[in-house]
Amino acid sequence: MSINILAVDTSADFCSVAILNKNKIFSLSKFCPNKHTQYILPMVKQILVNANLTLKKLNVLAFSCGPGNFTGIRISINIIQGLALGANLPVIGVSTLQVLAESVWKINGRDYVLTAIDTRTEGGIYWSEFKRQKNGFWNNEQGEKIFSYNQALKRINSLCGSWTCVGSAWKSYPNLLNKLNLNICHEEIVSSQAESVLSLSLLFWKKGLAITVEQAKLTYLYNDIFWKKLPGR
């Protein structure tokens, strides 16, 4: 039986949507900072047309659940909740940091990924260290954290081996990349994308990890140190 999935990601400056229909992937992406609400629903409607599907023919809806831009991830879950309630569909939330790791693997096949997103506050970094398992799932033994620059620097100094770095924080804090004890590959991916939400949600679906729309929630990482948003960010 083929699985039909619609995935949405508005966690950063991009709006992206993707559909899996009979093992074929359809996707749309648009760079639209602070204009997600203007574009996301028309993009959902267009991708359904492109894939020749209706909501009723989908098995599950997937979304990037954070951490990330507060407004962006709220838009994702609001869109998905509205669609799921209207079509009586289950949902799957996927970590934004894990989506970045999956995007790296799709590009270069690397299994060790350091994900770091600029929180756009004073020195805050959403951080996680992922290792890909043979079954396609990502393991992050340390969990997802919010670090200061100094905490991230200390953590990266404690690591060894070969890692791929991905996310907006590496551009915001380039000195983090200057670590001689690590073999670092830097991928210029700053935003998660719906195609990677799609591939991860397919794994979760096969494991029976879909939930009801009422159970859907976002991932917020908060620290009082980083409460102040920087001007223009």
Q: Are both 5-95+192-218 and 97-186 of the same fold?
A: yes
| Percentage, residues of the chain above pLDDT 90 | 70
Q: Kindly state the tokens that stand for 87.
A: 């079509």
Give the residue extent of every domain in the chain: 5-95+192-218, 97-186
Mean pLDDT of the 160-173 span: 91
Q: Which of 2-6, 147-151, 184-188 has the lowest mean pLDDT?
A: 184-188
Asked if residue 230 has pLDDT above 60, the reply is no
Asked if residue 193 has pLDDT above 90, the reply is no
CATH number of the domain at 5-95+192-218, please? Answer: 3.30.420.40
Which of 103, 113, 119 is CA-nearest to residue 12? 119
Selected residue with higher pLDDT from 21 and 188? 21
Q: Which CATH architecture has domain 97-186?
A: 2-Layer Sandwich (3.30)
Mean pLDDT of the chain: 89
**Residue 1 pLDDT:** 66
pLDDT of residue 33: 85
Rg, C-alpha atoms of the chain: 17
In this predicted structure, what is the pLDDT of residue 227? Answer: 44
Give me the pLDDT at residue 228, please.
46
Is the predicted pLDDT of residue 83 greater than 80, yes or no? yes
Residue 129 makes CB contacts below 8 A (sequence gap 6+) with 112, 113, 114, 115, 140, 141, 142, 159, 163
Provide the pLDDT for residue 180: 58
Across 8-14, average pLDDT: 88
Determine contact, residues 12/103, Cβ cutoff 8 Å: no
pLDDT band at 76 (very low <50, low <70, confident <90, very high): very high
The pLDDT of 57-76, averaged and rounded, is: 92
Per cent of the chain over pLDDT 70 is 93
Torsion over CA: 61, 64, 65, 69 (sign):
negative
Q: How far apart are CA 14 and CA 27, in angstroms?
A: 13
Model confidence at 117, pLDDT cuts 50, 70, 90, reads: very high
Q: Which phi and psi angles does 194 have, rounded to 5°?
A: -65, -30
Mean pLDDT, to the nearest integer, of 64-80?
Answer: 91
